[in-house]
Structure 1
């Protein structure tokens, strides 16, 4: 078991609960978990460690929304997503911890900007609808972002918003998308050495937090003040991203 300070374990435990919440109640909150993991662990190790916990949370999301996916939209995205994952895998194979850390920080800030832009431009984007160029751009961006930083949630949320999916179709398509993509990333992550026996041990310790977060998220969905919670998530994620960029 890796030797970590108590505050590092506390950050990881909090992040594991947030991962569960992000999949069942608060889409986009996972960016805060990414920042906490990258702050508590070496940057490359954080990417591999958080991936398996995301898959645990994906199981809950797929179980809840398994019949609501838009498979045509997923197939449209597939080629660009695969290309983005391959580019991200090559980047991780050659980049050192400092570059990965800085890149994760920059990606998180970009993700926040996309989320805010989605809020401001949501209606206009919805009117245009998705098309092949949009599918290629969002797919490639999400593939690279998810491979390098596991932070493609807001990118895909904007695409699904543009598709004007009903709520359940939105959640179901996102659930299946991330379940498939995260599982597909496992061989690449093992091959470039960011999933290790040490990361597996950390995942075993933290997995109960993901389960708790997913169950609590299912209970509080529809009861929490979403606007306030998202503002808090954005604020903390900005702090986490800035920490990664300057530390």
Structure 2
């Protein structure tokens, strides 16, 4: 087991609960968990350890929302996401931790600004709330989502901005996100394993924290039923901005 102080275990426990909640109620909310893991563990170790816990949360997200996924959206994103994953793997292997964090922070802030600007322009143009999107939008967000999720498990906020930009309803948002990250997280395992990031100590630590992810997932399911679309959008944007500022500064 990795030797950690009591406060560090408390931080990781809170992060594990947050992961569960983010998977079943607040996509993008895992940015808090990313910050906590990065504060306690070395950057690469935190990425690997968190990935396995995210996969536990994926199981509950799929159980709850698997029928609400919009598969045309997933297929449209797939080529760009693969390109982003490959770029992220190369960047993770070559860049230092400080550069990685700042790069992701800048990307998230730019995506938030573009998303809010695009939504305001649509509202002024025709006031239509139907989901929108095109090849350029899906390629941009897909590439950045693949890149950030490979580098720091931070793809959640990027993809949340995509789903908000296309005005995806809450249930479809959650269902499509559930399948997206369940697939992507499985794909990431051999990449990180190839870098030697899954030693026995990490696996044992995750075994201790996994039950807290389950608790968070169950809490998230209860919370999600009470969220309306406007409140949901605002919470996701606020969490994304907070996470981006943390990574940047």
Q: Give the TM-score normalised by structure 1.
A: 0.86
Answer whether contact 1:17 1:211 (CA < 8 A) is retained. Answer: yes
CA distance in 2, matches of 1:110, 1:50: 21
Aligned 1:163-202 pairs, distance under 5 A: 163-202=166-205
Q: Secondary structure at the match of 1:2?
A: coil
Change (3 A) 1:15 1:120: farther
Paired residue for 1:47? 47
RMSD: 2.6
1:132-164 per-residue CA deviation (whole Å, 9 max, x = no partner) reads 122211111100100001111121122223333
Shift of 1:115: 3.8
Compared CA separation, residues 89 and 230, structure 1 to 2 (3 A):
closer
Q: 1:17 corresponds to which residue?
A: 17
The match for 1:6 is 6
Matches within 5 A, 1:145-156: 145-156=148-159
8 Å CA contact 1:115, 1:154 repeated in 2:
no
**Which has the larger displacement, 165-174 or 81-90?**
165-174
Moved over 6 A (4+): none
1:159 corresponds to: 162
Show CA shifts across 1:15-43 (max 9, x none). Answer: 11000111111221111110111110000
What stretches of structure 1 of length at least 5 have no aligned partner? Answer: none
Deviations 1:183-234 (A, max 9, x none): 1100101011222222111110110111000001111224477588668746
Aligned-pair CA distance for 1:119: 4.6
- The normalised TM-score by structure 2 is 0.85
Which stretch of structure 1 is more off in the superposition, 113-122 or 55-64? 113-122
The CA deviation at 1:84 is: 0.8
Q: Report the counterpart of residue 70 of structure 1 in structure 2.
A: 70
Aligned to 1:144: 147
Equivalent residues, number? 240
1: CA distance, partners of 2:148 / 2:200 = 24
8 Å CA contact retained: 2:108, 2:240: no
Mapping of 1:90-239 within 5 angstroms? 90-95=90-95, 99-108=96-105, 110-112=107-109, 114-115=111-112, 118-119=115-116, 121-124=118-121, 129-223=132-226, 233=239, 237=243
Distance change (3 Å), C-alpha of 1:158 and 1:214? same
